[in-house]
Amino acid sequence: MDFCNRFFYNYNFTLMDRNKSKRKVIDCRDLPDVNGCTLRISGKEKEVLTAAIRHSVEEHGHKYTAELKKQLKELLKDE
C-alpha cells in the first residue's frame, strides 16, 4: 500500500468512527421524576427522541407537549 492509499484507508476509518459516535443516548435515570426506571435508549437523534417521547407518554404518564419534546432533547447525550 503506498502512502496515498494508506492515507485514504485511515481517513475512511476515521469517518466510520465519527458516524458511530454520532449515536445519541437518553437514560431514564437522568430524569428527576422517574421511579426506578432504568431504560436507556440509544440510536440516531431522531430515533431516540421518537422512542423517548413514546416511552415517556406510555410508561411515565407524561403528556405529549412541545415542552416534553424540548426536555427530552436536552437530555440527549453523545454515546
Q: Which is nearer to Zn ion, 36 or 66 (CB)?
A: 36
Q: At what angle do helices 66-75 and 45-60 cross, to 10 degrees?
A: 120
Q: Which is nearer to Zn ion, 37 or 51 (CB)?
A: 37
Q: Which is nearer to Zn ion, 39 or 68 (CB)?
A: 39
Asked if 39 is part of the footprint of Zn ion (rule: CB under 5 A), the reply reads: yes
Asked if 37 is part of the footprint of Zn ion (rule: CB under 5 A), the reply reads: yes
Asked if 28 is part of the footprint of Zn ion (rule: CB under 5 A), the reply reads: yes
Cβ 72 to Zn ion shortest distance, Å: 11
Provide the H-helix boundaries in 1-79.
3-20, 45-60, 66-75
SS (H, E, C) 6-27: HHHHHHHHHHHHHHHCCCEEEE
Type of residue numbered 63:
K
Q: Which residues bind Zn ion (CB under 5 A)?
A: 28, 37, 39
